[in-house]
A = this chain, B = another copy of it.
Amino acid sequence: MADLVLQWDLELRLEKVRAVMEDSKFDALLVTSNANLFYLTGMVINGYVFITQENYFVFVRRPVGLKGDNIHYIRKPEDIPEILQSLGVPLPVQIALEEIDINAAEFERLSKGFEGAGVSGGSGILLRAREVKTPLEMEFLKRTGQRQAEVYKLVPSLYEKGMTDLEFSAAIEHGFRKRGHIGFLRVSGFRMECYMGQIFAGDNAAAPSPYDFALGGAGLHTAFPNGLAGIDITEGTTVMVDMTGNFEGYITDMTRTFRVGEISEIAYRAHNLSLEIQKKLSQNFGEGAVCGDMYNFAYEMVKEQGLEQYFMGGDQKAGFIGHGVGVQLNELPVIFPKNRERLKAGMVIALEPKFVIPHVGAVGTENTYVVTKDGLECITVLDEDIIELI
């Protein structure tokens, strides 16, 4: 099912999940969402992973042809307890299921399948385990950050005068895609939807959106109201490019800002403040830092410059300036004011202090960072100045 390095890394992930399970009230965890199956097995299957402190089994419906000691083919999830019993594995007293990652119908069905067992929510266990990355995950993320930066380097060359935001985005998406972006992006939460990333031209950056991203955007259609709006890119405005890197199932997040013609002094001031915030946070907040303190530190810098009204949106503002990334775009921890969680070495977070300047557009950058003992190490390294599109 996997090569040796991956196999060894999967063992580490399993250990992390088991360590979090130790502190919980349940004795088994049954996983069946694509994101968590990929985390635990290195691939997406239509099936289930069953974990206790002593046992680990993979139950597969599709695809055909997988082989391994702990792999069992099933027709339906109700087969699982039967197989466990035939293997002499005691049925769980209290089982955890992914309440955030699977739909209510599946949750109900699995609950009934383990008749007599108590049922708890298990999504939090996996979110916690996934916060700190394993060595192989770190390798994937660093490599993805590099590949993402290489495509970003080409972005100015993809622009042609007179392009709409849609045409420009299509060209950038094409640039990512033909270099191996897997396209599809996993986002946590049934309300979130995303297509490779977003670009914001001019005032569209201030358009409110139903989605919980850092910025909104009207979208091409009310069917998918976020990001680009199918509008002209006009003189004197910015184009913010917020595309994802995702070549091996691990996502890095990166934003750069471009301009057409001259933009106002205040736009430059806000942009430089975004860079300064990231620099200061990288230097002053590493392992052990409190997430909420990071937000508040950044917000103080914004207040000092009197730029609060432009910070993190227009009329509708995001309540966070950063978030974990990994197999999903929006992992833990989230960097918002009241979050008392502390950073751990090996977490990977994206920081995106952004500003929306009326009549100009969005400014600022976003980078993905690895949390270290001493601070934050950027893994999406590329010039951060506002580049003119010509």
- Which residues of A are at the interface with B, using a C-beta cutoff of 8 A? 32-34, 38, 42-47, 61-65, 97-108, 121, 123, 166-167, 169-171, 173-174, 177-178, 180, 182-184, 186, 189-191, 193-196, 207-212, 216, 219-225, 230, 247-250, 315-316, 327
Contact = CB atoms under 8 A, between A and B. Distances in A.
Contacts of A101: 103, 190
Listed from nearest, the 7 A-B pairs whose CB atoms lie closest are: A223-B249, A104-B107, A183-B195, A63-B208, A43-B222, A170-B178, A46-B210
A230 B99 contact: no
Residues of A contacting B: mostly: loop
B208 A34 contact: no
A249 B224 contact: yes
12 contacts: A44-B222, A46-B191, A62-B209, A63-B208, A65-B208, A102-B103, A103-B103, A104-B107, A104-B108, A105-B121, A183-B195, A221-B248
Nearest to A189: B103
A208 B14 CA distance: 26
B209 A63 contact: yes
A95 to B, nearest CB: 13
A108 B100 CA distance: 11
Contacts of A107: 103-104, 107
Contact of A33 (B98, B166, B190, B223): B190
Contact of A62 (B189, B210, B220): B210
- The winner among A46, A170, A223 for most chain B CB atoms within 10 A is A223
Contact of A178 (B97, B167, B219, B221): B167
A170 B316 CA distance: 34
B182 A221 contact: yes
Contacts of A211: 46, 62
A196 B250 CA distance: 20
Contact of A247 (B43, B61, B221, B249): B221
Given A103-B99, A103-B102, A63 B210 contact: yes
